[in-house]
Amino acid sequence: MTHPPEHSHVVVHSPALDGSRRVTCGEETLGVASHIDDVTELLRQADLYVTDVEDSDLVEWQGGGPEDWPGLHEHPGS
């Protein structure tokens, strides 16, 4: 079964001042991501199983690609 293109269109918005990025699906905010793994988890929680969020037609990256997390390069405990 195929979904209409407007269904499940996910946007990873431009980084905020702290480097986090809001993730939305249509009008719904799925959450805030601090790392690409967070994007994958937010999609999973929304029952949107995307195996490769970096290269999926379902995910639109605004204000930078999947590698752009300014200010968040250091992970706590690293």
pLDDT reported for residue 6: 45
pLDDT reported for residue 1: 38
pLDDT reported for residue 7: 52
pLDDT reported for residue 24: 97
Q: For the chain, which ranges sit under pLDDT 70?
A: 1-8, 72-78
With helix as H, strand as E and coil as C, how does the chain read?
CCCCCCCCCEEECCCCCCCCEEEEECCEEEEEECCHHHHHHHHHHCCCCCCCHHHCCCEEECCCCCCCCCCCCCCCCC
